[in-house]
């Protein structure tokens, strides 16, 4: 897994937890405005951590307000050897991220 | 019905809890609150409304007790804990009520009308099994502790020495209750890890604080009740510390063992 995988992983995590298709996940989108409460957010993070093979420190979880915060948090937790870390994750997620229909729901 | 070994372990936990409470934590509404400092209490509408709101939540004590005791037939340790818990929680409502009356922020008539409005409603337990109620209680007690801690900080900032001490005394009790429930949960995990993890995951997903939706003027009260309890605080200040105290991580919560829906 690399930083470029983060948007699709989060897209799937969102679907798995909420049973809804988020469509486009804007980087600036407020997590709560997407209908995700704090418990669902925790579950999404656990799913993403498992898929990406990383662990985010507990202390980082309280600062997540937007989709971009999520990308950054997970990007920073990726081992640097897997890519360019946060910079690459940010670049990947800079624009609106729209996951192709055929990729949605894939496990 | 839980096993005899588990019930005996619950009883030992209760005796440890009770001995500590008797030796180190007993306090009196009449003697241990600094009522002589009432002249220093500022008239702060929101602080008073928050105190009244928490008093109202505590006033559902008969419903809470009935719910617990009805699930604990034959479980001496937990039933006796509930009796002791009820005594301590009763003092919480009384201390807040006395604060509001003695500080002149509520009249006897206002408190009577508030009490009647509260008691006209009934709280129903959110879960139907003893173990799920233990999980719920562990989270609820810690959430209440965090809420009281934030209210105490607010009372301190407002230079209200009486309410500050009331919240300190109440908060200390809530933390002791939380620790007891965590010990009971640890015993459940030892006996049935997969089942207890399912219950933990289920309660985390469905948790709601008790009774606040039953109070009159709910919207006003909700904003003062949750002051300082921002987005994600339930996770960072309640769920994750609780899991840590149980030797678990968030990954245990969503492990395969915990993902099968628990029975209600």
Q: Please tell me the distance in Å from B34's CA to the nearest CA on chain A.
A: 36
Q: What string of DSSP letters covers A91-104?
A: HHTSS-EE--GGGT
pLDDT-based confidence at B260, cuts 50/70/90? low
Say yes or no for a CB contact (<8 Å) between A50 and B234. no
Q: How many domains does chain B have?
A: 1
The 3-state secondary structure of B246-262 reads CCCCHHHHCCHHHHCCC
B8-66 tens-digit pLDDT: 999 999 999 999 999 999 999 999 999 999 999 999 999 999 999 999 999 999 999 99
Strand boundaries in chain A, DSSP class E: 24-25, 97-98
Cβ-Cβ contacts under 8 Å, A38 against chain B:
231-235
Residue A71 pairs in a beta bridge with none
Number of H helices, E strands in chain B: 13, 0
For the residues B191-214, what does the mean pLDDT come to? 88
Question: What is d(CA B104, CA B255) in angstroms, rounded to the nearest whole number?
Answer: 53
Backbone φ and ψ of A97, nearest 5°: -105, 115
User: CA-nearest residue of chain B to A41?
Assistant: B232
Cβ-Cβ contacts under 8 Å, A43 against chain B:
205, 254
Please report, for the domain that includes residue B253, its CATH number: 1.10.620.20
From the candidates A34, A42, A61, which should be mutated to test the interface with B, based on the most B CB atoms within 10 A? A42
For the residues B189-213, what does the mean pLDDT come to? 89
Say yes or no for a CB contact (<8 Å) between A61 and B234. no
B235, B244, B254 member nearest A38 (Cβ): B235
Say yes or no for a CB contact (<8 Å) between A38 and B250. no
User: CA-nearest residue of chain B to A46?
Assistant: B251
Q: What string of DSSP letters covers B61-79?
A: HHHHHHHHHHH-TT-HHHH
Q: What is the ipTM of this complex?
A: 0.75
pLDDT-based confidence at A96, cuts 50/70/90? very low
- Residue B77 is assigned to a structural domain of this protein: yes
- Domain spanning A3-93, CATH class: mainly alpha
Whether the per-residue pLDDT at B146 is higher than 70: the answer is: yes
Q: Please tell me the distance in Å from A46's CA to the nearest CA on chain B.
A: 6
Q: Please tell me the distance in Å from B206's CA to the nearest CA on chain A.
A: 9
- Residue B264 is assigned to a structural domain of this protein: no
Q: What burial letters (b/e) apply to B155-171, b meaning 16+ CB within 10 Å?
A: beeeebbbbbbbbbbbb
What does the pLDDT read at residue A106?
A: 34
B99-122 tens-digit pLDDT: 999 999 999 999 999 999 988 999
Residue with tokens 């929680």: B89
The parent domain of residue B206 ranges over 4-259
From the candidates B200, B202, B232, which should be mutated to test the interface with A, based on the most A CB atoms within 10 A? B232
What does the pLDDT read at residue B213?
A: 72
Q: Which of B148, B101, B127, B102 is nearest to B205 (CA)?
A: B127
Q: Which of B197, B230, B202, B225 is nearest to B57 (CA)?
A: B225
What does the pLDDT read at residue B264?
A: 43
* B232 lies within 8 A of chain A by CB: yes
Q: Which of B211, B187, B213, B66 is nearest to B134 (CA)?
A: B187
Instruction: At A61, list the tokens.
Output: 């979880």
Say yes or no for a CB contact (<8 Å) between A50 and B251. yes
Cβ-Cβ contacts under 8 Å, B257 against chain A:
none
Backbone φ and ψ of B225, nearest 5°: -65, -35
Q: Which of B162, B163, B153, B161 is nearest to B227 (CA)?
A: B153
Q: How many CB pairs under 8 A join A and B?
A: 42
Cβ proximity of B221 and B212 under 8 Å: yes
DSSP B263: P
From the candidates B143, B202, B250, which should be mutated to test the interface with A, based on the most A CB atoms within 10 A? B250
Question: What is d(CA A76, CA A78) in angstroms, rounded to the nearest whole number?
Answer: 6
For the residues B233-242, what does the mean pLDDT come to? 92
Say yes or no for a CB contact (<8 Å) between B236 and A61. yes
* B231 lies within 8 A of chain A by CB: yes
Say yes or no for a CB contact (<8 Å) between B254 and A62. no
């Amino acid at each position: 897994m690399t930083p470029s995988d983060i948007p699709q992983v989060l897209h799937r995590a969102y679907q798995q937890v909420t049973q809804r298709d988020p469509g486009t996940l804007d980087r600036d989108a407020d997590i709560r405005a997407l209908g995700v409460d704090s418990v669902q957010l925790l579950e999404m993070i656990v799913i993403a951590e498992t898929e990406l093979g990383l662990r985010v420190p507990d202390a980082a979880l309280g600062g997540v307000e937007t989709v971009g915060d999520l990308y950054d948090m997970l990007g920073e937790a990726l081992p640097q050897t897997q890519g360019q870390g946060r910079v690459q994750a940010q670049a990947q997620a800079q624009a609106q991220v729209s996951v192709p229909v055929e990729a949605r729901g894939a496990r | 019905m839980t096993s005899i070994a588990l019930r005996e372990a619950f009883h030992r936990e209760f005796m440890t809890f009770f001995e500590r409470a008797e030796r180190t934590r007993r306090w009196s509404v009449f003697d241990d609150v600094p009522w002589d400092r009432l002249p220093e209490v500022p008239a702060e509408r929101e602080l008073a409304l928050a105190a009244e709101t928490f008093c109202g939540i505590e006033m559902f004590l008969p419903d809470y007790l009935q719910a617990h005791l009805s699930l604990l037939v034959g479980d001496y340790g937990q039933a006796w804990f509930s009796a002791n818990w009820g005594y301590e929680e009763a003092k919480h409502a009384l201390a807040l009520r006395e604060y509001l009356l003695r500080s002149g922020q509520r009249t006897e008539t206002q408190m009577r009308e508030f009490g009647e409005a509260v008691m006209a409603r009934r709280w129903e337990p959110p879960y139907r099994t003893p173990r799920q109620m233990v999980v719920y209680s562990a989270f609820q007690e810690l959430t209440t502790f965090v809420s009281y801690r934030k209210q105490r900080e607010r009372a301190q900032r407002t230079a209200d020495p009486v309410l500050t001490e009331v919240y300190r005394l109440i908060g200390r009790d809530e933390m002791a209750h939380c620790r007891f429930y965590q010990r009971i949960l640890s015993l459940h995990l030892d006996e049935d890890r997969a089942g207890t993890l399912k219950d933990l995951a289920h309660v985390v997903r469905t948790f709601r604080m008790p009774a606040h939706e039953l109070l009159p003027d709910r919207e006003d009260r909700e904003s003062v009740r949750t002051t300082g309890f921002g987005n994600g605080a339930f996770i960072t200040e309640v769920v994750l510390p609780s899991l840590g105290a149980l030797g678990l991580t968030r990954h245990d919560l969503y492990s395969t063992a915990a993902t099968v829906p628990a029975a209600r």
